């Protein structure tokens, strides 16, 4: 009963904030990722809150042969449990971006994911286009999800805006809550309900050093595609990192010499 009341309370706060006019107008244009389906490997598009320029590092197969598997829109108790087993069987970790309104009652799953070395991050409370809502509602989406994650024992470090849609207001609000904003460089397009074979081909054909791959753990075909994708990338010499590990690996890279 307590969890139900808490969920109703959070929904009520969202509705109240939606009714409050904002002094900040919504963006006139979608972000690059929202318009193009993926981010360029540049700070302003991929990790707009980072204080260093990711383009200054030598990102190639010789220096950074890693990829980050990321899964949006959970928790999904059935699929996430299967994904967890696939990851554990391959001795690798991933990052899960969870939606706040789905979190209540998922403590066991969250604990299991974390115990196996995976990272859990913020994907808003109810999955809106962030630039279509006021700054106050953006803040509520991020803050409420953060609160639920902390209550579940998670200290999140990342925020991924739904649909890749953000502006500087979004980035600033996330940062105020201790979160860096991150997008993706490869979209599996599993959200189109495509077959596993198409997901596999799309990801493998676009793979690159330091790739951040977008999946949705709510899609059964993604679960089917994952073992083949992992096996292929491992065979090609790639290792797998969480988003926080990705950032650490990036900062270790050499910088081009100035002649």
- Of 241, 249, 247, 38, give the one whose Cα is nearest residue 157: 247
Torsional sign, CA 221, 226, 232, 237: positive
Of 93, 123, 157, 216, the catalytic one is 216
End-to-end alpha carbon distance in the chain: 67
Q: 218: alpha, beta or left, given left = phi > 0 and alpha = psi -120 to 50?
A: alpha
If you count them, how many residues does the chain have? 259
198 alpha-carbon distance from chain centroid: 22
Strand partners, 74: 98
Of 38, 45, 72, 187, the catalytic one is 72
113, 148 contact by CB (below 8 A) = no
- Of 129, 172, 155, give the one whose Cα is nearest residue 33: 129
- Is residue 72 flagged as an active site residue? yes
- Is residue 76 flagged as an active site residue? no
CA angle (124, 146, 2) in 5-degree steps: 100
Give the active site residues.
72, 216
């Amino acid at each position: 009963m307590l969890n139900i009341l808490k969920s109703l309370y959070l929904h009520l706060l969202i509705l109240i904030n939606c009714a409050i006019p904002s002094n900040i107008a919504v963006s006139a244009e979608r972000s690059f990722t929202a318009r193009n389906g993926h981010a360029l490997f540049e700070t302003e598009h991929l990790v707009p809150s980072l204080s260093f320029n990711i383009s200054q590092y030598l990102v190639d197969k010789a220096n950074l042969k890693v990829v980050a598997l990321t899964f949006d829109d959970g928790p999904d108790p059935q699929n996430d449990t299967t994904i967890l087993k696939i990851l554990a069987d391959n001795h690798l970790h991933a990052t899960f971006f969870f939606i706040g309104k789905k979190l209540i009652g998922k403590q066991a799953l969250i604990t299991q994911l974390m115990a196996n070395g995976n990272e859990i991050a913020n994907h808003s409370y109810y999955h809106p286009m962030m630039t279509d809502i006021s700054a106050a509602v953006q803040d509520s989406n991020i803050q409420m999800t953060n609160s639920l994650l902390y209550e579940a024992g998670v200290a999140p470090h990342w925020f991924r805006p739904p649909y890749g849609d953000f502006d500087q207001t979004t980035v600033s609000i996330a940062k105020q809550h201790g979160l860096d904003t991150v997008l993706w460089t490869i979209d599996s397009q599993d959200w189109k309900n495509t077959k596993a074979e198409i997901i596999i081909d799309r990801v493998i054909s676009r793979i690159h050093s330091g790739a951040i791959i977008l999946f949705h753990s709510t899609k059964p075909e993604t679960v089917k595609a994952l073992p083949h994708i992992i096996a292929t990338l491992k065979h090609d010499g790639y290792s797998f990192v969480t988003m926080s590990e990705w950032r650490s690996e990036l900062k270790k890279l050499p910088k081009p010499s100035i002649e």
